Amino acid sequence: MTVCVAALAQKSKAIVCIADTAISYGDSIQWDSDSSKIFELNPSGTLVLFAGGEEATSRVLGKVIARADEIGNDIAETRKILESEYEEAVNELITAKYLTPRLMTKAEYIKATSLPEINSYIRGIATEVQNYVADCSLIVCGFDVNGKPFILSVDAPGVAIDMTTTGFHAIGSGWEKSISKMLFLEHKRAHPVERTMYDIFDAKAFAEMAVGVGFNWDTWVITDDRKAHKVPEKIDLLVEHLYVEHERSPFDKPEKDDEPLPKNWRSQISKYCKSIMPSEPPRDK
């Protein structure tokens, strides 16, 4: 129950990511926390954004982290690893939830369900197994060794989909609203990092209508030199301030204690974005 968004920017030389920090317990308890749903997987700047229940997500993430050094160098290989580890995590959970309590191994279950005739007891277990859906979604994004960007989405039953061609993707309970907002904003991969930071914040804010999406957030930017940068709180708050001013109804009057938007807001955000982008090598004359 969350929302995570990743989008290409700066003519595909950067990827901007955002996620809320809310924690949900069932359908009745939710609050913002100091947890983060984005983390840097390896020194090559690969980021993982995650959403879902603790049971499946912790199991899948544990396996992905164990193979962190192999992920991100080659896109096709990364896709295979993500699918393999997701599948293995799901198989472990199915065994732990439905087979071990019945004193059955996976081999015994497969043998029992392969017989010409299956008794009602085994059929009941098979129905439980078949109906199980892992509550875990991931976005794994970064740049490969050749500087090519990738945004990979992994969802139940464990299929990795390359969303790089689309240019952005969202997961979590607020994914539909975020995707809708990104489409409405006509986001393009050519947009500069600063505009994309605003757009994905707008998409996250719009998704707050969905159950389980919180207010607090983290923003990260990956650059094509394979470095991940956590956006400072000062810049995050400036983007929020800009959003509040921009989205205010013309019929609403500013509150007396509202601080005016700094006149140099554009230069502040642009200065930060330029500072994290690798400098272009000089061209031969």
CATH architecture of 4-233: 4-Layer Sandwich (3.60)
CB atoms within 10 A of CB 39: 17
pLDDT in tens, the chain (285 residues): 789 999 999 999 999 999 999 877 666 666 677 788 999 999 999 999 999 999 999 999 999 999 999 999 999 999 999 999 999 999 999 999 999 999 999 999 999 999 999 999 999 999 999 999 999 999 999 999 999 999 999 999 999 999 999 999 999 999 999 999 999 999 999 999 999 999 999 999 999 988 878 889 999 999 999 999 999 999 999 999 999 988 888 788 777 667 888 999 999 999 999 999 997 655 454
Query: What is the DSSP track for 228-267?
Result: EEEPPHHHHHHHHHHHHHHHS-TTPPPPTTPPPPPTTHHH
Pairing of strands 38-40, 29-32: unpaired
Q: Domain ranges for the chain, please list them.
A: 4-233
Indicate the DSSP class of residue 38: E
pTM exceeding 0.85: yes
